[in-house]
């Protein structure tokens, strides 16, 4: 198959080194062009994320050492060899499928990696660096990832605190589109929570923070309303859901404040989700009628259960990947017979056509309808004669000694097989079309 993976990831490479390996999309393509020219590769795609930098290469198996040396010089990092991994052929394809299906991600089942992989592949395809082999491999990887997501629930359960907070809100309110949300804090955890909330189409977003400019920036990014922190008490009652994530050392929301809010809301309940450490919301508010509060320990328990569920689902995902690999391997093997079969059919049809035209020229003038009937009869006869040999050659292609049989057929019939076009063959497989993000 001549497929190779060279990479560095979060499992073997410390973050301070991974930071230095980070490449912009433009840098990825430029480096890919350098590698392709220097080592005469049959295809290259580079994936660069915060957790991994990987090179997917064709025809690199004899040059892996030199390629790694070039990359060490490119990044000026002598220690790259200490944590590099190389994977070849079918094992490399298995790794690619696992990456696409997020089984190799730091957060099992996270959805971002598939989009990142598609973007990288598209960039290299646009500049014609993918060659003939990588196209069917990557498109099959994308369809495999889709199967994993549709046939398992590996991506359905929250495994981050921010995501879990929003999932909890969804359980509390069946329809978040009617709910107004107040987010207290403008840090990374708060922004992640806002991103998840916006995907679920909340009615209104309020953001407050001790530094108003930070609140305004976050609110503007998601079309929300920034509230000065000093005005929190004035606006808190407007929120159905309150998510708090600040670095405060004391409680920001007290039972007395919530009492006033509930009074203004006329018994409409309020739900508080506290993802701060130390806590922002006094747990005593749980004693108030109509107020419900969940803290990070509650969420962590949910996250732990979901992580276990994702691990169970990953077993199903592994089975899907192995099935896809088996199909891909059989498909590749069957392709080895295609040039011989095509050449055999071409040769037989050419001989049949010559004999038919020679015979028709000796006959009296035939009506056009009868001439077409003779041509159709000869065409069908050739197809029938070659049907079983073609089918058997495809079966033989799966055997280890297939090349011996194919060589024999080529010599016996004096054929001149043309190598198969992998991209065209891939297009003839309906399951292997690119799935857009």
293 as an active site residue: the answer is no
The alpha carbons of the chain give a radius of gyration, in whole angstroms, of 31
pLDDT, residue 421, reads: 54
Does pLDDT of 339 surpass 80? no
Domain end position, chosen among 108, 133, 156: 156
Q: 10 Å Cβ neighbour count for 200?
A: 16
pLDDT higher at 327 or 69: 69
Same domain for 186 and 253, yes or no, is yes
Domain end position, chosen among 122, 156, 190: 156
- Taking CA 125 as the corner, what is the angle to CA 121 and CA 126, rounded to the nearest 5 degrees? 120
Same domain for 344 and 273, yes or no, is no
Same domain for 345 and 295, yes or no, is no
In a domain, 437, yes or no: no
pLDDT, residue 436, reads: 39
User: What total of structural domains would you count in the chain?
Assistant: 3
Same domain for 169 and 150, yes or no, is no
Same domain for 147 and 254, yes or no, is no
The token pair that represents 285 in the structure block: 């508010």
Tally helices (H) and strands (E) across the chain.
17, 10
* Spatial distance between the Cα atoms of 343 and 335, rounded to a whole number of angstroms: 13
Q: What is the pLDDT of residues 411-434, one digit of tens each?
A: 888 877 776 555 455 555 544 333
pLDDT, residue 432, reads: 37
The CATH number for 188's domain is 3.40.50.720
pLDDT, residue 49, reads: 87
The token pair that represents 269 in the structure block: 């309940």
Which of 11, 38, 50, 264 is labelled catalytic?
50
The CATH number for 127's domain is 3.30.460.30
Same domain for 80 and 166, yes or no, is no
Domain that holds residue 376: 331-432
pLDDT, residue 86, reads: 96
Among 180-194, 273-287, 404-418, which is the least confidently predicted range? 404-418
In a domain, 262, yes or no: yes
Q: What is the pLDDT of residues 12-26, one digit of tens each?
A: 898 888 889 989 999
- Taking CA 320 as the corner, what is the angle to CA 316 and CA 326, rounded to the nearest 5 degrees? 145
Backbone angles phi, psi at 92, to 5 degrees: -65, -40
Q: Is the dihedral of CA 357, 363, 369, 375 positive or negative?
A: negative
């Amino acid at each position: 198959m001549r497929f190779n993976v060279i990479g560095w990831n979060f499992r073997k490479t410390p973050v301070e080194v991974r930071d230095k390996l980070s490449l912009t999309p433009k840098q990825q393509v430029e480096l890919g062009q350098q590698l392709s020219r220097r080592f005469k590769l049959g295809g290259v795609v580079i994936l660069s994320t915060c957790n991994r930098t990987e090179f997917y290469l064709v025809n690199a198996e004899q040059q892996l050492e030199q390629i790694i040396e070039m990359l060490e010089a490119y990044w000026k990092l002598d220690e790259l060899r200490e944590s590099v991994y190389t994977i070849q052929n079918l094992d490399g394809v298995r790794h690619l499928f696992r990456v696409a299906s997020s089984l190799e991600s730091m957060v099992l089942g996270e959805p971002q990696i598939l989009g990142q992989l598609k973007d990288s592949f598209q960039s290299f395809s646009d500049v014609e660096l993918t060659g003939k082999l990588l196209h069917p491999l990557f498109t099959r990887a994308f369809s495999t990832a889709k199967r994993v997501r549709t046939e398992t629930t590996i991506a359905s359960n929250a495994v981050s605190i921010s995501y879990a907070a929003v999932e909890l809100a969804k359980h509390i309110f069946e329809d978040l589109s009617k709910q107004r949300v107040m987010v207290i804090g403008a840090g990374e955890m708060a922004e992640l929570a806002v991103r998840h909330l916006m995907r679920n189409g909340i009615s209104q977003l309020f953001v407050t923070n001790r530094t108003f400019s930070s609140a305004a920036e976050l609110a503007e990014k998601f079309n929300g309303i920034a509230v000065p922190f000093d005005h929190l008490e004035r606006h808190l009652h407007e929120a159905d859901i309150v998510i708090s994530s600040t670095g405060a050392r004391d409680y920001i929301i007290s039972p007395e404040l919530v009492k006033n809010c509930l009074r203004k809301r006329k018994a409409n309940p309020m739900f508080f989700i506290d993802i701060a450490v130390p806590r922002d919301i006094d747990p005593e508010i749980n004693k108030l009628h109509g107020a419900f509060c969940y803290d990070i320990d509650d969420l962590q328990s949910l996250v732990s259960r979901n992580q276990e569920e994702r691990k169970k689902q990953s077993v199903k995902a592994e089975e899907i990947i192995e099935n896809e690999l088996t199909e891909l391997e059989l498909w590749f093997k069957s392709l080895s017979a295609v040039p011989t079969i095509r050449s055999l059919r071409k040769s037989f049809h050419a001989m049949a056509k010559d004999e038919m035209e020679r015979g028709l020229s000796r006959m009296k003038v035939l009506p056009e309808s009868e001439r077409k009937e003779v041509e159709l009869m000869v065409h069908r006869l050739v197809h029938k004669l070659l049907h079983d040999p073609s089918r058997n050659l495809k079966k033989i292609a799966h055997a280890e000694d297939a090349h011996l049989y194919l060589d024999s057929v080529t010599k016996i019939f004096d054929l001149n097989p043309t190598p198969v076009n992998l991209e065209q063959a891939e297009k003839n497989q309906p399951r292997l079309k690119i799935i857009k993000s």
